[in-house]
Amino acid sequence: MSLLAFQKQFPDEATCLTFLEDQRWANGRYCPHCGSLKSYKFADGKLFKCGDCRKKFTVKVGTMFSDSHVPLQKWFYAIYLNTSLKKGISSIQLAKYLDITQKTAWFMLQRIRYSVEKSGRGDLLGNIVEADETYVGGTRHDGKRGRGASGKTPVVGIAERKGEIRMEVTENTKAVTLDKIITDHVAPGSTVMTDEYRPYGHVTRLGYKHRRVNHTNKDFVIGQNHTNTIEGAWSHLKLSIRAIYIGVSPKHLQKYCAEYEYRYNTRELKDDERFDKWFGFVNGANLTYRKLIGIQHMILAPVGVAPAPKPKRMKKERPAEPRKFRGLPDDDTLN
Q: pLDDT tens digit string along 4-36?
A: 999 999 999 999 999 999 999 988 999 999 999
d(CA 167, CA 241): 15
- What does the pLDDT read at residue 150? 64
- What does the pLDDT read at residue 286? 77
Burial zone of 56 (CB within 10 Å; 0-12 exposed, 13-18 middle, 19+ buried)? middle
Residue 237 dihedral angles phi and psi, to the nearest 5°: -60, -50
pTM greater than the 0.75 cutoff: yes
Q: What is the pLDDT of residues 59-100, one digit of tens each?
A: 999 898 988 899 999 999 999 999 999 999 999 999 999 999
CA angle 92, 67, 73 (to 5 degrees): 55
CA angle 111, 117, 121 (to 5 degrees): 145
Cβ atoms < 10 Å from Cβ of 111: 23
Burial zone of 194 (CB within 10 Å; 0-12 exposed, 13-18 middle, 19+ buried)? buried
Q: List, as one string, the DSSP characters of 112-178.
A: HHHHHHTS---SPB-SEEEEEEEEES---TTS--STT-TTPEEEEEEEETTS-EEEEE-S---HHHH
Residue 169 dihedral angles phi and psi, to the nearest 5°: -80, 130
- What is the number of residues in the chain? 335
CB distance 169 to 154 below 8 Å: yes
Residue 270 has pLDDT above 80, yes or no: yes
d(CA 57, CA 45): 12
